[in-house]
A and B are shown apart, each in its own frame.
Chain A
Amino acid sequence: MRFMPEAAWNTTAGRFRRASLWLGLVGVLAFLLADLEITTLSPGTELARIGTGFLTPDFAATEFVWQALANTLAFAFQGVALGVVAGFVLALGWRFRGVRAFSAVIRAVHELFWGLIFLQITGLSPLTGVLAIAIPYAGIFAKVFGEFLEEADARPATALPSGSTWLATFFYARLPLILLPVRTYSAYRLECGLRASAILGFIGLPTLGFHLETAFRQGDYSAGAAILYLFFLLIGTLRWWLHRHLLPLYLGAALWWAPPLSSAPAGTLWRFLSEDIVPAPLRQDGGFEAFMQWCLRLASEQALPGLWHTLVLSSAALLLTALLSLLLFPLVSPRFGSPLSRGLGHILLVILRTTPEFLLAFILLLLFGPSMLPGIIALALHTSAIVAWLGGRFTLQWPARCDGATGLRGYCYEVLPRIYPNLLALLLYRWEIIMRETAILGILGITTLGYFVDAAFAEFRFDRALFLILVSVLLNLGVDAFSRRLRQHLRLSLNEGRTLARLPGADTTPPRGAAP
């Protein structure tokens, strides 16, 4: 008997399988290399105390909590508004490489790092909070809006009679095409801005995070829980009070409550630029050789270990995120379970994705002690809730067949192959975000790059801090480029903003009235 020579497999799914296999291997390797030790002696007792605290929130325990709430809102509104305007201006020049590079650099620096920098320049003032949000957000908005413009239908603009001015063409045939996604995305970002504003409290700005950290560090979990509930309430009710027509009112109130002024004496900026951030050997006329030694020492003692830990932690977190997403998305997909199970699934995912990852990490740190484990779990829980929620929505994209397979067979044959490209694209976008968010883990004590940056600021060694921030910028740019290359190779959609705009409500639903 002779066998026909079999043709080689040639499927799209094969490409995704191979890419996933490699990413999975990297993740497993990261888990093997990561420090996962549990160092606290009795995580059980601490957990019980935290649980009791959450059951007995004490709203009267924290002084000035309403001021902190107002500050959180004021910084977020001003920061996001300024970011939208600046980002839009940058997006107009998106075809210039210089503009794209500039946007990439400013968004590669985490809000917390911008906050630490501006604390030195503009002091403990509203301006610091506003700029810490506005600058990275301008970079993010520039990218998303720029890509909206790039991908918008170009035909209406070319159909206009020749002789139409650039400005008129833009307002008639370009802007209307992207206005709705711009609005949806900005609303989504406002929620992120509120979270960022709260987190800025961790470096001393008077927002909710400041009181949250104080309460948790002192073990006053009832007070901490109260602040957290307040924050949930703020985010959870967004859709009822965040109305497009009320935005000018909110912005006016934000400017009135916290005018964006600097509290630093004149000349601070100049001193910061001309002295503080100049590497120590150069400041003390140590010469080039001393400078090289300074760089080498900083690189070997702080930058490289920080870089390594950041990479290991984020790769492990990405793998855990992927696995959790695959497990969680059927909970909210109409193709699986009953209305009751889907309802419960929705509640679970809402809680997971509304709880800021820094808080999850904070609680897990108290439980497990300072290893990478809390960071990995916190980032993975938060991110996978977002990815799984979107994954559930993606399963609605094709018509259901009444004779289709159900249960595990349906999952493997019908659902997963169809939504896998979308899931993978989302995970790859999120990789960059996970990498940025490791900054906050550093401030909580996990030895990522953020840890060394925070330590350098605490020691007033701003030259070192800036060096380390530059390293983190390079890391983020590298990961962004790699993820982009991989998505191109896999022919996945390249625009996160568009994916989110098409499925509004990644973290929030657009405010009512936003849709026509």
Chain B
Amino acid sequence: MDVLFSFRGDHLYQGARPVLTDLTLTVRPGEKVALLGRSGAGKSTLLGALRCQHATQVAWCPQDGALVPMLSAFHNIYMGALPRHGVGYSLLNLVWPQARERQAIHALARQLGIEDCLRVSIDRLSGGQAQRVALGRALYTRRPVLLGDEPVSSVDEHQAQRLLALALSQHDSAVVALHDRSLALSCFDRVLGLRDGALVLDAPTSGLTLADLDALYA
């Protein structure tokens, strides 16, 4: 059987501090996994470790966005495509946005609902808009595995559902950290729950209720 990510009794560290101990976990290609747990439970650490396992397959959407504030939304989204293009082309696109990229990114931005602010720099966007840009950058990476850390936390509930569905539809596999439990149940087919440095929940969403997930936060 194919395996995408796997841990066998591993310890994960944040710097020198152990965050997750004795972790055993397997994720297969094609799975869409939601990652739940209180803040500080180790979600970001786990995502970082997953990224290391298949760095070249991963479309990465970090929690704080980590965008370049003074560049436009267009250029920030384009950054997802840096590995696809030669340095010369990328530098040219930096000073003189290329028609091909403009078209592709405009189409993507329309799906994300940010086509009007492509030419605006990130420091002049709202938190929700910036978050969509970060998601756009991950989608524009065009790689099979999406790793997202609270990618839609600043977007309203209805939009969050739509954006998450869009992002999931464009990737074979995904592991996404969330704080919205209903989103986890509606968009994903498996839920992982972290608590006190351990994986305490690992189940298909079909058999889960919101009350089951509440136990992670109690």
Contacts and interface: CB of A to CB of B under 8 A. Distances in A.
B94 A172 contact: yes
A168 B78 CA distance: 11
B91 interface: yes
A169 interface: yes
B68 A177 contact: yes
11 contacts: A153-B66, A155-B64, A156-B66, A156-B67, A159-B67, A159-B134, A161-B80, A162-B55, A165-B82, A171-B91, A173-B68
Nearest to B80: A161
B75 interface: yes
Contacts of B80: 161
A29 interface: no
Given A161-B58, A164-B82, A165-B82, A171 B66 contact: no
Given A171-B94, A172-B90, A161 B83 contact: yes
Contacts of B67: 156, 159
Interface in A124-166: 153, 155-156, 158-165
Interface in B39-79: 55-56, 58-60, 62, 64-71, 75, 78-79
A180 interface: yes
Interface residues of A, number: 22
A169 B87 CA distance: 9
B175 to A, nearest CB: 16
B56 A172 contact: no
A167 B83 CA distance: 11
A176 interface: yes
Contacts of A153: 66
Contacts of A162: 55-56, 58, 83
Nearest to B95: A171
A186 B3 CA distance: 53
B52 to A, nearest CB: 9
Given A161-B59, A168-B87, A168-B90, A173 B79 contact: yes
Interface in A12-56: none
A160 B82 contact: yes
Interface in B89-124: 90-91, 94, 121
Contacts of A164: 79, 82-83
Contacts of B66: 153, 155-156, 158-159
B143 A161 contact: yes
The A contact surface, by secondary structure, is helix
A516 interface: yes
B68 A169 contact: no
Interface in A302-332: none
A458 interface: no
B131 interface: no
Given A172-B94, A180-B70, A163 B83 contact: yes
B173 interface: no
Nearest to B142: A161
A61 interface: no
Of listed B66, B75, B143, residue having the most chain A CB within 10 A: B66
A481 interface: no
Given A161-B143, A162-B55, A167-B87, A172 B71 contact: yes
A179 interface: yes
Given A156-B66, A167-B91, A172-B82, 14 more contacts: A155-B64, A159-B67, A161-B79, A161-B143, A162-B58, A162-B83, A163-B56, A164-B82, A165-B83, A168-B82, A171-B94, A172-B78, A173-B68, A173-B79
Nearest to B71: A176
A161 B68 contact: no
Contacts of A173: 68, 79
Nearest to A165: B87
A378 B56 CA distance: 61
Contacts of A165: 82-83, 87
Interface of B: 55-56, 58-60, 62, 64-71, 75, 78-80, 82-83, 85, 87, 90-91, 94, 121, 134, 137, 141, 143
A155 B137 CA distance: 14
B127 to A, nearest CB: 16
A277 to B, nearest CB: 43
Nearest to A163: B83
Nearest to B78: A172
A161 B60 CA distance: 7
Top 6 A-B pairs ranked by shortest CB distance?
A163-B83, A159-B66, A155-B66, A164-B82, A162-B55, A168-B90
Contact of A172 (B55, B60, B69, B75): B75
A244 to B, nearest CB: 15
A441 B66 CA distance: 50
A158 to B, nearest CB: 7
A172 B70 contact: no
Nearest to B90: A168
A180 B66 CA distance: 18
Contacts of A177: 68-70
Which one of B70, B85, B143 has the greatest number of beta carbons of chain A within 10 Å?
B70
A176 B75 CA distance: 11
Contacts of B55: 162-163
Nearest to A157: B66
B91 A168 contact: yes
A156 B85 CA distance: 19
A173 B66 CA distance: 9
A158 B149 CA distance: 14
B68 A156 contact: yes
